[in-house]
Amino acid sequence: ISISVFPPSNACIGRYILNMQITSCGHTYQRCLGDFYVLFNPWCADDPVYMDNQAHREEYVLNEHGILYEGVHKHITSRPWHFGQFEDGILDICLKILDMGASYHHGSDRDHCWRNDPVHVSMVVNHMISSHTTNSIMKIPENNDYLKGTKPFSWNGSVPILQQWYNGRCRPVRYGYCGSLASVMCTVMRCLGIPSRVVTNFCFPCSTENPLGVNEIFDCTGKNLCGKDKLWRYHCWNESWMARRDLNQCCGDWQCLDPTPLETGRGSACSGPTWVRSIREGELDLDYDGHHMFSRVNSNYVGWLSQNNAKKTKFFCDAWPCGQHLITKSVGSEQFEDITGAYKYELGSVKNKEAYYRAYRRIHPGYCNASNCHIDRELSSLKNPFLSDSGINMRLKMANCPMYGEDVQLHWLLENLRNENKNLKFNLCAQIITYSGCPMDQFWKDSVNITLGPREVKKIPLCISYSQYGPYLCDHNIMKVVAVSDPECGEALMVSRDIVINRPPVIVKLLSQPRLKVPCTAEISFCNPLQEDMKNCVMTLEGCGLFKEPMTIDLGTLAANQQARTIVEFTPYRLGSHRLLANFGCHKF
């Protein structure tokens, strides 16, 4: 007997058991023919997740390899990630996630009726990633303390995270960060048949008081003080493709889902799904968490000088607008695609202003009937004055692209815009900044007196040696260099630069041609770039279709400038395009 099953496009996703009942000669027999899975189908035109572009389906559903973008907006770094949605057992884990999270949105899961709606499914998955009180998939370390778990940046893929959660009785895996949370969600959504991708937003504001403003406070030495607001250097979230029946959408479009719990003023929570187009248009009442998502790409940055008498003064500075660079992996390419235009119109354009006015009136009900001019005046009063308003232009320009162990070289450019002399005293400092905007140790300070003649331009070289920043960098590879003027000499001026310290590369070289179920060898090499020993060196290898589970190699101690080479053998167990990932860790990072 040949049996074909054609589930309708509105069938609930999940695992089904197929039984056959046979009646013969007055006797009835039951036989289980097996089980099968029903998933969302982006190839089916009647399915709410239908995507009509084949290249997009291959990228956002079938591709097991992704790229996470990190760093700062002027120095974007990338690292590969294994989604692994087709690895053995992952589908069962994804359905277990729906079982554990069912009570979040519906109280009871007796009828499973919500499982045919990608909106409700995405909300449950979004909540389960890190917001569930006891059974979330992953936790974020509090106060950057992850001694009782795995370093957040040491993960290479989603599969070990999901397996550890499932095998650990659904207890949260310690620890992750926004990139791993968004990537794990992308794996789950692709596994369930929903096209998804990871998006990175640079200059991401996190404010608990003013939804459309983020404040950074500095002392007179230029040190960034820890305040209530945080300016994340980057933040990752997930986008999923679906037609929103609740919004009367007949065609699919990208919906924003942020699984990272963020402080909103009423506690921490994940966000979404939010229609990306509604964010661009400022239609905040249209969707879930629209005001949160709008503020994350449209907030204004304000820098303050805190003086000894607790008085705060606004700096003259040229602030980079929040949310001005949103990127994701390009379709069929290793390069990134700039999708900022999907979230907001061009800065300063008429449509951009109209969307901002519309959103401002919804976020601040007291301005519901205010004119556009009134809102403009209010916004102008909150912003920093430009450096040019003080008669000075300044910027910090990188003279090199420093690798771990190398000195940081900068050029400090100053220009006097007036026809008179300028005598200024500046305090300079550098400190470590986490990706989430938390200021760490201040490790370098200096002060300098500068005289600028009329219309004079000066270039001052700055150097921060590895011996100065190395002991403080640890797992955080971002530092902030700041120059602030002495307020007693006139206006408070500030210029700053976020600097990424690149980590040394791990080189992977295949020594034989990979073939299915035939042993293959690869050479993994790494060179210690420091003039000191690296202790507790560990290499972690991972690859979908290559390793059933991550392989860890203990390298011990690497002497200064020593190169470590190791040969590994693996047997490809699945056809397809595979990628071998190698991650190096030591007591330094």
Q: Which helix (H) or strand (E) holds 276?
A: helix 276-281
CA distances from 11 to 40, 107, 283, 523 (A): 9, 21, 32, 48
3 state SS of 358: helix
Q: Is the peptide bond before 273 cis (omega within 30 degrees of 0)?
A: yes
N- to C-terminal Cα distance for the chain? 60
Q: Which helix (H) or strand (E) holds 353?
A: helix 350-363
Judge whether 178 counts as a catalytic residue. Answer: yes
Helices (H) and strands (E) counted in the chain, each on its own, are: 11, 29
Exactly one of 47, 109, 117, 258 is catalytic; name it.
258
CB 520 within 8 A of CB 571: yes
Exactly one of 178, 206, 322, 544 is catalytic; name it.
178
Angle at Cα 540 formed by Cα 539 and Cα 542, nearest 5°? 145
Distance CA 139, CA 181 (A): 9
Q: Which helix (H) or strand (E) holds 29?
A: strand 27-38
Judge whether 120 counts as a catalytic residue. Answer: no
Tokens of residue 105, six digits: 């949105």
Exactly one of 65, 82, 120, 235 is catalytic; name it.
235
CA distances from 549 to 87, 159, 509, 540 (A): 11, 9, 20, 10
Judge whether 94 counts as a catalytic residue. Answer: no
CB 334 within 8 A of CB 67: yes
Q: Taking phi first (over 0 means left), then psi (-120 to 50 degrees means alpha), and beta for anything else, what does residue 236 get?
A: beta
**What are the phi and psi torsion angles at 313 (to 5°)?**
-125, 140
Point out the residues that are catalytic: 178, 235, 258
